[in-house]
């Protein structure tokens, strides 16, 4: 049957597609983090929400200021995404010299 071959091709394309979309799933993951921190789901993270969601509340103010690149007092998803993509995974920042 020709239909079976079409189905097999469709399955293969789907599998290939999910492999190719691996980079996008990283963005999805960041988006999920963003919406988790954005407690009131306003589409922007305030300093209060950021501090609440931070593992290191003492350092949250400084981190927030770094991510809030246009300094309008809230972190939008584009700023959050940029901060995640620019930052290489690193466990601890090096000690100040």
78 lies in the binding site for Ca ion (CB under 5 A): no
Q: Which of 38, 45, 68, 80 binds Ca ion (CB under 5 A)?
A: 68
Give the separation between CA 88 and CA 92, rounded to whole angstroms. 11
Among 24, 40, 48, 70, binds Ca ion (CB under 5 A): 70
Residue number, 57 or 73, with CB nearest to Ca ion: 73
Number of residues that bind Ca ion (CB under 5 A): 3
Contacts for 49-55 with beta carbons within 8 Å, 24 or more apart?
50/75
Residues lying near Ca ion in the complex (CB under 5 A)? 68, 70, 72
């Amino acid at each position: 049957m020709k239909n079976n071959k079409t189905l097999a091709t469709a399955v293969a394309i789907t599998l290939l597609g999910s492999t190719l979309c691996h980079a996008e799933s990283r963005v999805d993951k960041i988006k999920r983090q963003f919406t988790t921190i954005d407690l009131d789901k306003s589409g922007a993270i305030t300093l209060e929400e950021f501090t609440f969601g931070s593992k290191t509340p003492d350092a949250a103010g400084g981190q927030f200021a770094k991510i809030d690149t246009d300094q309008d007092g809230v972190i939008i998803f584009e700023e959050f995404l940029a901060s995640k993509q620019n930052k290489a995974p690193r466990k601890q920042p090096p000690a100040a010299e």
